[in-house]
Amino acid sequence: MPDWLIWMILAVALGVAEALTLTFVLGLVAVAALVAALLGAIGLPVAVQIIGFAATAAAGLVLVRPIMQRQMTRGPDARSGAAALVGRSGVVLREVDGDRGLIKLSGEEWSARCIDEDLVIPVGAHVDVMEIDGATAVVYPREALP
């Protein structure tokens, strides 16, 4: 049996094992086995194949795996829907108090109420969205009120 075929069988076995475990280690070693199979297919000696396998596996584990782990442990970057509106700024269209009001937020009109029930935010004031409660933006004035 040719050397490259042994490496190819090893690569397939490691690839299947990676698909079952999702550790990213076996997949990187499978890629290293494919490199060794390529080296064997072009007729290089077994010692060169082993060196190629070891170098590729080491490079994958040292360089690629930390990047993959970092990407997997990070949460999604993009917030969507109502969660994407938290932290945005809006303009008061109708006076906002602790119970009701109206703001323009991201080009849309939103019902709003002030997070501080004692404050009344006048028309034209800029507000920051603190949270979204159903279809109501809970806001706080961006600048101090007179």
Amino acid at 132: I
Q: Which H helix or E strand runs over 90?
A: strand 89-94
Percentage of the chain exceeding pLDDT 90: 69
Percentage of the chain exceeding pLDDT 70: 95
pTM of the shown model: 0.53
CB 102 within 8 A of CB 78: no
Segment 80-112, tens digit of pLDDT: 677 788 989 999 999 999 999 999 998 999 999
Instruction: Examine the pLDDT at 2 and tell me if it is beyond 80.
Output: yes
List the end-to-end C-alpha distance of the chain, in Å, as a whole number: 87
- Copy the structure tokens of residue 15: 């690839």
Structure confidence at residue 77 (pLDDT): 63
- pLDDT, averaged across the chain: 91
Segment 9-48, tens digit of pLDDT: 999 999 999 999 988 899 999 999 999 999 999 999 999 9
Instruction: Examine the pLDDT at 79 and tell me if it is beyond 80.
Output: no
